[in-house]
Structure formats: C-alpha cells, structure tokens
Structure 1
Amino acid sequence: MLNKETGPSKTAQDDPSWDPEWIERRFAGILECNFENCGELVAILGNKYVQEQHEQDAYGQWSQTYGEVFRPLALLPAPLPIRPASDTPDLVKAALREAAGLIWQSAEGAANQVRQAVEHLMDEHGVTKSAPGAFKTLDSRIKEFELKDPKNAEILLAVKWLGNSGSHAGGLTRDDVFDAFDMVELVLNNLYDTTTADIMAKVKAINNHKGPVKPTP
C-alpha cells in the first residue's frame, strides 16, 4: 500500500504547537478478493491519519499511544455491500452498484441512489410514476404497492425515509446507508429468491412419497 505525507502536513510540523494528530497522508493500493475462483482486483485510495489512542494494561494503568486510521474515499470497482437475489431486475442492480461506488465519498449521494433502486423496483411491479393529470411521489407509489404486499412495502418505506434524508447535507451517515442496503436486500430476497420455496416443494414431495422422489424420465 503506497502512502505519502502531504506537503501542508509536512509544513505544519514547524508549528511550535504541532501534534502528531495533524499528520495527513494520502494512500493508494490494490485489494484482491480471496473468494475461491474470483481474484477480482479493486483499486482503493483515500486519506490516512494519526489518531490518539488510550490503552489499559493488565494492571489497570492507562497509556497514550498513536495509531493509524485509513479512510477510503474511492474503490473501483466498488463491491456491493449486499448480495441481491440472482433474479433482481438489472435497473435495480445498476442503481445499487452506483450507490456502492458513492458511499465512500458521499453518504447522501449513495442514499439517493438506493432510493432510485426503490423507484425502479416499483416500475418492475407495475406501480406507475404518474396518474392522469398528476405525478406520483415515491411515498404514494409505495402505499399503492402496500395494497398487494404490505410486508415489503413497510421495509421500502423505511428505505424511502433514509433516501429523503440523503437530500440534505449531513442528514445521514454511512451506517444509515448500509442499513438501507440491508433493507433492500431483504426485500429483494423476499421477492426474487426462490430457494426457500424450492426446498419446501421438495420437502412436500418427499413427505408425500414417504421417501426419495425420482425425476420424471
């Protein structure tokens, strides 16, 4: 991992009141996925700081130390923090990938893209963006969707509120966006993951036959 102290950070060391926490460095590097049969490479860059830390030894005595803190600002390609169901619509996945790229730079921008993924999801489920003579808000679209799927509508409404907060600087944190990702993942699994249904179908077939079910020739 390459890292180097900035010019202003070096100059600041001439200040009589200088403190190690004033140190600022830039870093860049390559990360490699260690999942089997993957090996994807991700470029990463950001800032590196020195932060005061306090440690307590076995005797209860405290000491002051300094540790390094890495703060990523960009990852390319940015990994998705969730695993959408394989049948998730392409436009929904594209908006989520855009959000994943933004989350390291702007929590607000990322939240808006997650919100856009919800808009695309409503499109996929036939909840139109407009009515005769009027434009539908996402709130009204989710309430319309609630008529046929109240459980997932409740989750999407929470995502919408987080997305709304993304329209205001400082309105939410990166952790809030990760929460929104988790909520969307739950909805996508509810809507598009057939694993549970497939397994239960096999369970019922085995119970009906009281044993293994042979495939139809």
Structure 2
Amino acid sequence: MNQHPDFDERGNCEDFYEHLYPKFFIPALPLVEVHNACPKPVQDRIDAASKIIWADPSSAANRLRSATEALMDDQGIPRKVVGRRGNIRDSSLDERIKNFKTAKPKYGEAADLLLAVKWIGNVGSHDDRLRLPDVLDGVEILDFTLELVYDDRRDEIKRKAAAITARKGIPQSAGKPNLTR
C-alpha cells in the first residue's frame, strides 16, 4: 500500500489516496485459458503458479518452468538421455525443448517460445529479481504456446473451409427439405 498526493485543479495537495496491491485472490485467478486438450499435469502446474503469483512472482515463474517440463513429458520428450560415455543422465529442459523442436518440427515456433518460459523460470528458481510483469510475460508466452500445441480449432476450421470450397458453397443438406422454416 502506497500513499500518493491527490492534487486539486490548482495543484494544491488536498488529501492523499492509497494504492492497494493484491497479494492473494481466493479462489486464485486463472492465468491462462487452458484448453480442453491440455494435459492435467500442465494445468495443475499453471494452477499452482496462479495461487502464488501475486505474493511470490519468482516461485510462480518456477511453476511455469515446471509446466514446461510437464508439457515435454506429454509430448513424449524423454527426461533421460544416453550420455557420450553410454551412461544414462538427466536431460536438461533446454535439451528437451531442442529435442522437441527436432522431433516435432511442426511445433518449432512453440519450442522457440518455450525457451523464453524456461529462462524466466530459471531466473525465478535462482534469485529474487523477477517482478510480476516479468512473470506475466512468461504466462502470456506459455498461454500462446499451449494454443499452438493443443488448440485444434485452427485445423477444424481449415477442414470446414476445404469442405465448403470443394462443394462450392452448396450446403451438405442440399436437396433435403428445410424443416427450420
């Protein structure tokens, strides 16, 4: 809460007003419009971020990074890889995102965006410099990425348009009686 002077039309300070800054919302405000096809582990991590973002943006950023890990799990990108010496080792999130881009080139744009979410999450994990606007940038990027990966409305609309074009606009029900009149 901060007090600020309230000036009248002549520039005289008549009073002070306060700005209130929220720390929690109960229930938590949703951060993204999670699509039905988005897997529950990703949704759960985003929900965890939404519960703490106002009080602890750095911790929320870490939850967004964790959501990115869950997204890689859902896309079948392994957490373990065979190292140079034949040993099994953990794959970093950076490696997993790069592997995602290689394994699923149609999601190349999504992979590039996820790197930004990863970096925001890394900063949130290792120091306390992040502020709410920084984390909200990560939320916006993750939301768009989820749309790229899980929202199939674009494909559905393209199929409909192709079918209408193939029929040259003639309704599928042409020749059938119209019972709606």
Return the alpha-carbon distance in structure 1 between the equivalents of residues 58 and 144 of structure 2. Answer: 21
TM-score by length of 2: 0.84
**Secondary structure of 1:52's aligned partner:** strand
Q: What does residue 63 of structure 1 align with? A: 12
Q: Does 1:52 align with 2:1?
A: no
- RMSD over aligned CA atoms reads 1.7
Q: What are the equivalent positions in structure 2 for 1:64-213 lying under 5 Å apart?
A: 64=13, 65-132=15-82, 133-147=88-102, 148=104, 149-213=107-171
How far apart are residue 50 of structure 1 and its match?
A: 4.7
How far apart are residue 81 of structure 1 and its match?
A: 2.2
Q: 1:211 to 1:162 in 2, by over 3 A?
A: same
Extract unaligned runs of 5+ from structure 1: 1-48
Higher helix proportion (structure 1 or 2): 2
Higher strand proportion (structure 1 or 2): 1
Extract unaligned runs of 5+ from structure 2: 83-87, 174-181
Q: 1:168 to 1:67 in 2, by over 3 A?
A: farther
Return the alpha-carbon distance in structure 2 between the equivalents of residues 50 and 186 of structure 1. Answer: 34
Return the alpha-carbon distance in structure 2 between the equivalents of residues 124 and 152 of structure 1. Answer: 14
Return the alpha-carbon distance in structure 2 between the equivalents of residues 89 and 163 of structure 1. Answer: 20
Asked if the contact 1:50/1:66 (under 8 Å) is kept, the reply is no
TM-score by length of 1: 0.71
Return the alpha-carbon distance in structure 1 between the equivalents of residues 101 and 79 of structure 2. Answer: 15
Moved over 4 A (4+): none
